[in-house]
Amino acid sequence: MITMEFWKYYDVTHKEHLVCNPMSVEKLNELITLLTLKPGSKVLEIATGKGEFLIRLVEKYNVSAIGVDLSPYHLGDAKIKAKERVPNADLTLIEMDGANYHPDTPESFDLACCLGASWIYNGHEGTLKYLMSKTKRNGLVVVGEPFWINKPPKEYFELSELKYEMFSTHIGNVQIGESLGLKLLYTFVSTPDEWDRYLGLQWYATDMYAQANPDDPDLPELLAKLNREKTLYLKWERDAFGWAIYVFRKK
């Protein structure tokens, strides 16, 4: 665990990212096209980050959208971006823990999503249950979730903050949704190249920050954590860890 502010670490490492997960912009646009939302549809995104997905939905479909995120850095970026690109949209950005967000009317959203922050709800199943509780019948539930391709050796878990029990397999992620009554419509699975770009941009952004801020007292800890994560990725995770976006319909 780090002692420096977590959101500062995340902001520094993700400064160069347009999308803060291992998915290409091309696939994100393909996802948006598949969703075929009607104008005025209600959309909720938990852990909206810099708001790129939500803002693109507003730009394409003119939806009514709510984005929730706990990072003051990324939400600040999202607000600037929204003001520049969709100044007249029905878009609300809220700085709070997604676990504490409860709309006035349950099951009122046409689309509820959380792309890569299932820790908020203690895992994939908890995330799906939360999103389902906010989604209309026949509405869409979209999540981004890691999965194991294979199990790394004991040495990996001795060095990593992750536990094998935290995540399922790719088919396991699908089956968890189906067991809750969701219907799988599509999956977007990250390629090794997309993973490389996602992690590589973190290394690059952190180096740029270190060059510009050599006197930051948090820098030694920031670099130590990043270098440990770099080693874990290059030695084990690149072959063992996957990530996918799952598109479900609530029956």
Q: What's the pLDDT band for 2 if we cut at 50, 70, 90?
A: low
Place of tokens 């939360």: 130
Dist CA 125 CA 137 (whole Å): 18
Beta bridge pairs of residue 242: 147
- Phi–psi pair at 30, nearest 5 degrees: -65, -40
Residue percentage of the chain with pLDDT more than 70: 98
Q: Closest Cα partner for 86 from 112, 54, 40, 110?
A: 54
Average pLDDT score over residue span 27-38:
97
Dist CA 217 CA 227 (whole Å): 17
Q: What's the pLDDT band for 237 if we cut at 50, 70, 90?
A: very high
Which fold is adopted by the domain 21-192+242-250? Rossmann fold (3.40.50)
Q: What's the pLDDT band for 4 if we cut at 50, 70, 90?
A: low
With a CB cutoff of 8 Å and minimum separation 6, the contacts of 247 are: 31, 34, 35, 140, 142, 184, 185, 186, 187, 188
Average pLDDT, the chain: 96
| pTM of the model as a whole | 0.95
Q: Where do runs of H (alpha helix) occur along 45-123?
A: 52-61, 72-85
Average pLDDT score over residue span 149-172:
97
| Domain ranges for the chain | 21-192+242-250
Dist CA 210 CA 12 (whole Å): 10
> What is the predicted pLDDT for the residue at 227?
95
- pLDDT tens digits for 201-216? 999 999 999 999 999 9
